[in-house]
Amino acid sequence: MPSAANFKASMYCPGDPSLEPFARAVECAEMARPKEAIKWLNIALALNPKDAEALSARGSSYVVDDDYKRALVDLNLAIKLAPDLLRSYSRRGYVYLATGRIDEGIRDLSKVIDSDWVDAIDQSPDIDLVNRSKAYKIKGKFKEASADLALAKDLELLETLQDERMHLRLKEAKTLSDKILQRLPQNSYANLLGGIAALNFSSYQQAYDRFSQVIKRHPNFSA
């Protein structure tokens, strides 16, 4: 990976030279190297200061680096620029909870959870539920906390489903997706991954039905 200190564009990114440093930052974030990710995102944002995705990503890297003050600045601006980018609320919700702003944290996490947000790449809905459950416990709302944890356990199975697919255990992935959708028949993320599992297993009608369920709730979704 080229150094952020000596960055020279090498990818062909017509119209947006910030895409390459953004891609480099994603690589660093995936390897748990937040400081390097931040350096690449600084370059991306110097080239495109109003890139809400890059601001949100840098905010996330600041969170990993325990710099909540800078994280909040980036996430607030990302939300101002792109109020429909739900991952920013997920990240800001965590920052609010980590800094003791419990009501604001619950508000942001609830916005994400209640949206039935669906993203084929960047999504871990169980984590938002676990975080909100902790916040509810602090507020003494034990019934709501318990409900969130129960739903989080069901959604955590989707990580196992993805692992089965990644290792080409397609029959196992299909069986698990059927089990999850018996519990969460209306959940868009479960239907998306269930549709992919069905498609990988050549169950085309079932894949069509599950994708249709996602599109019905999110008509502008594409993946």
Work out the mean pLDDT of the chain and round it to a whole number: 89
Cα three-residue angle 161-143-103, rounded to 5 degrees:
90
Tokens at residue 72, please?
């909040």
pTM comes to 0.82
Render pLDDT for 39-69 as a digit per residue (tens, 0 to 9): 999 999 999 999 999 999 999 999 999 999 9
List all residues 6 or more positions away from 219 whose beta carbon is below 8 Å from its beta carbon.
none
**With contact defined as beta carbons under 8 Å apart, do 26 and 61 qualify?**
no
pLDDT of residue 117: 76
pLDDT of residue 161: 85
Cα three-residue angle 151-153-156, rounded to 5 degrees:
110
pLDDT of residue 116: 84
Amino acid at 216: K
Render pLDDT for 187-215 as a digit per residue (tens, 0 to 9): 888 898 899 989 988 899 999 999 999 99
The residue-averaged pLDDT of 113-128 equals 78
User: At how many degrees (to 10) do helices 188-200 and 204-217 cross?
Assistant: 160
Render pLDDT for 81-109 as a digit per residue (tens, 0 to 9): 999 999 999 999 999 999 999 999 999 99
pLDDT of residue 15: 64
